[in-house]
Amino acid sequence: MALWGGRFEEGVGELTQRFGASLPVDKALYKQDIAGSIAHASMLAAQGVISQEDAAAIREGLKAIEADIDAGRFVFDINDEDIHMSVEAELTRRIGEAGARLHTGRSRNDQVATDTRLAAKALAKELMQANASLRHALLDAAEAAGGAVLPGMTHLQHAQPVLFSHHLLAYVWMFTRDFTRLRAAFDAADASPLGAAALAGTSYPLDRKMSAEALGFARVIPNSLDAVSDRDFLLDLEYACSVMAVHLSRLSEEIVLWASQEFGFITLSDAFSTGSSIMPQKKNPDFAELIRGKTGRVVGDLVQLLVTVKGLPLAYNKDLQEDKEGALDAAHTLSQCLEVMRGMVSTWTVNADRMRAVMGKGHLAATDVADYLAKRGMPFREAHAVVGHLVLAAEKRGVDISELPFEEFKAASDLFEPDITGALDLDAVVAARTTEGGTAPARVAEQRAQAEVALKADEASLTYLTPVVEMGQGA
């Protein structure tokens, strides 16, 4: 029977019961729901709204239910609409009247907002940890790459040589920013709606600060209407997930390219590759492709919630029940992607010789040849044109600019001296890029140290987060 039985003469139809239910999704929040109810009951007793005996019975009953769900021995009634009803109905079956007093001064509207915020905090924290693990793996991979140089590209065309470690560090910085976004999402969720009741507050003398503190919330939401209808915190979480997924997807795309025969820059370990059911020779980068593919889902989850919320009048509307599935999906999907990516970068083999070999005909030193002339007085635009002609001459002969004879350089400009060969050496080209953030080995080492400091600071910041109610695994 529905919890609003009094007002109704007929039960809800089977079709609408199933259509209206969110239990299959929100039972994942059972720990948050039970923690929320315990905090509420304790506060009600402290305020003299219910007796201490009733509060104690409620706490014990809820803990026993939690233990049963944790252990996987709780049988959910598919006729319950949501986790709030499941838990409360079972509590009342177990402890009788005291259970029926739990919902005093509370609505499922502030209850679900509370549970969802607690879940958002737990998910953001899990993702921050996974984000940090991936950054460790990328930093290790950057270290292991040593002096490997690959063709840096723009427009997917050879541009200038860069250290492979420099390339990997670019991703480390993206993930560093993603951590900050997750942290912002955590902070957005870190406010208690409990006590807002259905929409307007209640006439009971609730102590909202007390229940907020018991749940580990940093603050209380100041407006009851906002408290029950705001889902920005989930948008923040899903946005943080989406941007991180997009970063993972870009890296995945590079992995797919690098693992191809055409590039051959890396070899994925067997554990992170698949074969073909028909072509015996195949070794496919399936998991990089799958991360790229799952990114669509994560971004879709964000867009879904944006659209769900956009037309809603204040305060609670049932549409909001559609908020949790996407958020849980985005967080779980991303968490898997982070772990798989970590495994992939920790076990790949970097083919430094192959990277070097493909740079043979790319004229990657051309900019440095132009810089050579400019540093000897020629305006850079003019130097650019001179070197452009040298590249054209090399192209016509099917050689790299570095393979042209010195006389040809001399004929193009009198400023060329025999030391031009030094400017053509790719290691020298890399080493010359000494601006802060550049690819010169010393600069990359410095940058790697900075990224490590940022990682350590982020990891340390996790210990200062307000307490979270971890997601349960039993439902």
- Contact positions toward ligand ARG, by CB under 6 A? 22, 26, 82, 108-109, 112, 316, 318, 320-321
Smallest distance, ligand ARG to C-beta of residue 219, A: 23
Of 231 and 342, nearer to ligand ARG (C-beta) is 231
- Which is nearest to 247 in space by CA: 156, 158, 135, 136? 135
Of 304 and 321, nearer to ligand ARG (C-beta) is 321
What DSSP letter does each residue of 132-154 carry, written as one string?
Answer: HHHHHHHHHHHHHTTT-EEEEEE
Q: Which two tokens stand for residue 75?
A: 């049988």
Of 202 and 466, nearer to ligand ARG (C-beta) is 202
Burial class (CB in 10 A: 0-12, 13-18, 19+), 410: middle
Burial class (CB in 10 A: 0-12, 13-18, 19+), 167: buried
Is the separation of the CB atoms in 355 and 149 below 8 Å? yes
Q: Which residue is catalytic, options 155, 277, 332, 402?
A: 155
Of 202 and 346, nearer to ligand ARG (C-beta) is 202
Cα separation values, 144 from 137, 240, 257, 288, 314, Å: 10, 29, 20, 21, 55
Of 49 and 119, nearer to ligand ARG (C-beta) is 119
Q: Which two tokens stand for residue 100?
A: 């029926």
Show Cβ contacts of residue 277 under 8 Å, excluding neighbours closer than 6 positions. none
Smallest distance, ligand ARG to C-beta of residue 229, A: 11
CA 203 to chain centre: 41
- Whether 363 is catalytic is no
437 DSSP 8-state letter: T
Of 175 and 316, nearer to ligand ARG (C-beta) is 316
Of 82 and 254, nearer to ligand ARG (C-beta) is 82
Is the separation of the CB atoms in 219 and 191 below 8 Å? yes
Q: Which two tokens stand for residue 221?
A: 């939401």
284 DSSP 8-state letter: B
CA geometry: angle 26, 29, 32, nearest 5 deg: 145
E-assigned strand segments in 341-414: 349-350
Smallest distance, ligand ARG to C-beta of residue 22, A: 4
Cα separation values, 394 from 104, 167, 390, Å: 84, 28, 6
Q: Which amino acid is at 416?
A: F
Q: Which two tokens stand for residue 5?
A: 């039985």
Smallest distance, ligand ARG to C-beta of residue 253, A: 37
Query: How many other C-beta atoms can be found within 10 angstroms of the C-beta atom of residue 177?
Result: 14
Smallest distance, ligand ARG to C-beta of residue 152, A: 49
SS3 372: helix
Q: Which two tokens stand for residue 422?
A: 């030094």
Q: Which residues pair with 151 in a beta bridge?
A: 161
The span from the CA of 185 to the CA of 320, in Å, is 19
Q: Which two tokens stand for residue 191?
A: 């406010």
Smallest distance, ligand ARG to C-beta of residue 267, A: 47
Residue 14: phi and psi, rounded to 5, are -65, -40
Of 160 and 308, nearer to ligand ARG (C-beta) is 308
- Whether 211 is catalytic is no
Smallest distance, ligand ARG to C-beta of residue 310, A: 17
Q: Which two tokens stand for residue 356?
A: 């070097």
Q: Which residue is catalytic, options 51, 276, 389, 461?
A: 276
Smallest distance, ligand ARG to C-beta of residue 107, A: 7
Is the separation of the CB atoms in 475 and 75 below 8 Å? no
Of 319 and 459, nearer to ligand ARG (C-beta) is 319
Smallest distance, ligand ARG to C-beta of residue 34, A: 15
Q: Which two tokens stand for residue 68?
A: 């049963």
Catalytic annotation, residues: 155, 276
